[in-house]
Structure 1
Amino acid sequence: MKRVFVFEYLTGGGEVGSDAERDELMPMGRLMRDALVADLLTVPGVQVSAALCRHAPEVPAGARGVAARTGEATLDFMARESAAHDLACVVAPETGGLLLKYSRCVSPARWVGCSPQAIALASSKQATLRQLDAAGVCTPLAITEARRWVVKPDDGAGAIDTRVHHRHEAALQDLQARTRRGEPATLEPWVEGDALSLSLLCRGAGEAEVLSVNSQQVAVDAQGAVRFLGVQVNALPAAQALTQVAEAVARALPGLKGFVGIDLVWHAQHGPVVIEVNPRITCAYAGLSAALERPLAAELLALFEREPAHA
């Protein structure tokens, strides 16, 4: 029997900057955790444990809920439970290097996901765009006719602290203010077009399969604040251009393995423009196995198939 531990940062007790941020992000965290747990429970010969906390005190039926000990740091809790299982599936934001820290605290023999090197690169939006641009992938760096500009955390999650400006000068002032506050941020052209995401199954060595093309609902209010409203999974067929982009990203970012998300915008002139890469499970995972009629969790585990870590 293979024992798999699922740790999602927020539902596992991870801290965020404010209660408002927690309220905004917690539903997405719970959605990802519960979808992955439910899929894993259908895999023969697998026992599933899932992290919980007082903000998310229940796990899907059939899984064993585990929580941090009193006074135990979330990172220590994750590392301890990972060591007690054969495999660890960790979903955490790139913000503040969190996902990278978690990847380095789990034995490579147990880690189900991208390599620490790939996570480190994808954790910086600026570094990711530079790497992709150098590899010939179209990114916002190629947009020279922008009418609006966006300032956002360089390692942010979701649309938190993301703002669109109509004047480049205003965007630059926003960036400078964040820099003075010690907040790593990036200024990019705002890419006009249809917001999409790709869900990939990366098999390593630059090999990537497009599982689904998803439509993202993104809103910008009168003050320029950006909000992520949700995603319609498997909304569009995988056009050849999108498949080519996925394969190019996988080649440009060595170490991508497992479930990976790409956020992009379909621009009228430039076609698919890659905005960022998420080296982990995303919200688009929820319901995808049913939509595709494929056992994605079983396929995911098969990529990391090893002998059990315990007798």
Structure 2
Amino acid sequence: MAPFQINNRYNFHYVVLVRAIMKILIYEYLTSGAQYALSIDDPLMAEGNNMILALLNDGLELPSQYQLYTIRDHRFPPLSPDFDPIQVALVTSPPHYQQVINKQLADCDAALIIAPESDACLAQQQQRLNDYNILNLGSSVNAIVQATNKYRYPQLLAHSPLKTPETLRAADWLHNPTFYSSGYISKPLDGAGCIQTHYWQTAAQLTDYLQQADISLAHYIIQPYITGNPISISALINGTHCQILSINQQQISQQHCQLHMTGTIVNGASNAVPVALADNIIQQLLTQLPGLSGFIGVDIILHQHQPYIIDINPRITSSYIGLAQIMAANPLHLLLQPTMSIAS
């Protein structure tokens, strides 16, 4: 096996062993057997299952030099015979999950993980790759920690051209309220999607919620409600290069005060946000958050033609499910091109 070195723009250096076959583990955390408390009928499970199936389907088209492995909760129906080229390990219990994931990480050369950022889940899963010294096909642990902290990343972007909503810790706002005529958003510091994200018309409503709700104020933030068009950008970061995969229209509804993500139209906002603008947003994020790599998603609100960064997702998002319908190229194959510079 002959080694070759990959250098990326951030001066991290990685040595990759060139083998006749590269073994790649691809798994989605919720559907891997790690979350037995969730029913397989849970909407989060369904979304996770659709994402991993889309990835594995793209994996079937990879050149023969790649052998794919995945981990599946045994409660899901068996994969169709089309997926027979992929090595599938079925997990039957939480203890069994630990055995299976440890064996897979020990046996594989690289891994691509889908996991929620809440409760540091994504960062912890990526750290396991470092512990096993295998190639991480996603963002670095440090970039994940910075990007998924909804109080921290606005501070990092404060001196860049990118705009973010004013962001306050819930405890600080409660002690010294800032008044917003547009209304208020409360959400977890590291939440995924619209989970526990609320819109409040008045400061009095928000105050009542923060004082009465069974939440930890230290783990919540307050922002002004930004009116506009909710859009997400799906991108692939390949070393010094960024490729915009799709510019998506998000569909968000409100039930009482709770916001809900009800769907995404993949590439449905390509007329609202030019590719050049989307590319500039990602390039600016790379400057401020070195270590972002592989597939990422960025949620924005387009307010009077001005994009506001709402969320940075350093992972595959649900829009990946629709990429096969709009792209001629295989996005998973693009990720594995030799020019890729991988974060660790």
TM-score normalised to the size of structure 1? Answer: 0.87
Report what 2:314 is aligned to: 279
2:34 and 2:231 mapped to 1: Cα distance?
A: 28
Answering whether residue 138 of structure 2 is matched by residue 113 of structure 1, we say yes
Report what 2:8 is aligned to: none
Q: Is the 8 A contact 1:50 1:59 kept in 2?
A: no
How big is the shift at 1:191? 1.4
How big is the shift at 1:185? 1.4
Deviation readout 1:87-113 (Å, 9 max, x if unpaired)? 211100111101111111113532110
Report what 2:291 is aligned to: 255
Q: Is the 8 A contact 1:200 1:209 kept in 2?
A: yes
Q: Is the 8 A contact 1:175 1:187 kept in 2?
A: no
2:148 and 2:100 mapped to 1: Cα distance?
A: 23
Report what 2:206 is aligned to: 171
Deviation readout 1:268-293 (Å, 9 max, x if unpaired)? 2x611110100000001113144121
Q: Which amino acid aligns with 1:243?
A: D
How big is the shift at 1:119? 0.6
Q: Is the 8 A contact 2:74 2:91 kept in 1?
A: no
- Whose radius of gyration is greater, 1 or 2? 2
Report what 1:97 is aligned to: 120
The answer to which of 127-136 and 225-234 deviates more is 127-136
Equivalent in 130, 147, 159 of residue 134 of structure 1? 159
Equivalent in 243, 246, 250 of residue 282 of structure 2? 246
Give secondary structure in 2 for the equivalent of 1:254.
coil
Give secondary structure in 2 for the equivalent of 1:158.
coil
Deviation readout 1:57-95 (Å, 9 max, x if unpaired)? 434532232133645274664343122112211100111
Change (3 A) 1:120 1:76: farther
Q: Which amino acid aligns with 1:68?
A: V
Q: Is the 8 A contact 1:129 1:276 kept in 2?
A: no
% identical equivalent positions? 26
Q: Which amino acid aligns with 1:5?
A: L
Q: Is the 8 A contact 1:165 1:171 kept in 2?
A: yes
Give secondary structure in 2 for the equivalent of 1:83.
helix
Report what 1:195 is aligned to: 230
Change (3 A) 1:18 1:7: closer
Report what 2:174 is aligned to: none
Report what 2:104 is aligned to: 81
How big is the shift at 1:150? 1.1
Equivalent in 281, 293, 296 of residue 331 of structure 2? 296
Change (3 A) 1:235 1:144: farther
How big is the shift at 1:15? 2.7
Answering whether residue 185 of structure 2 is matched by residue 150 of structure 1, we say yes
Q: Is the 8 A contact 1:7 1:78 kept in 2?
A: no
Answering whether residue 197 of structure 2 is matched by residue 162 of structure 1, we say yes
How big is the shift at 1:18? 6.4
How big is the shift at 1:120? 0.7
Answering whether residue 31 of structure 2 is matched by residue 6 of structure 1, we say no
Give secondary structure in 2 for the equivalent of 1:202.
strand
Q: Is the 8 A contact 2:236 2:244 kept in 1?
A: yes
Report what 2:69 is aligned to: 49
Report what 1:309 is aligned to: none
Q: Which amino acid aligns with 1:99?
A: L
How big is the shift at 1:48? 1.8
Q: Is the 8 A contact 1:152 1:185 kept in 2?
A: yes
Q: Which amino acid aligns with 2:73?
A: C
Deviation readout 1:238-280 (Å, 9 max, x if unpaired)? 5133332222112111100001000011112x61111010000
2:43 and 2:218 mapped to 1: Cα distance?
A: 20
1:123 and 1:17 mapped to 2: Cα distance?
A: 24
Q: Is the 8 A contact 2:33 2:92 kept in 1?
A: no
Q: Is the 8 A contact 2:238 2:340 kept in 1?
A: no
Number of corresponding residues: 302
Q: Which amino acid aligns with 1:254?
A: P
C-alpha root-mean-square deviation of aligned residues, in Å? 2.7
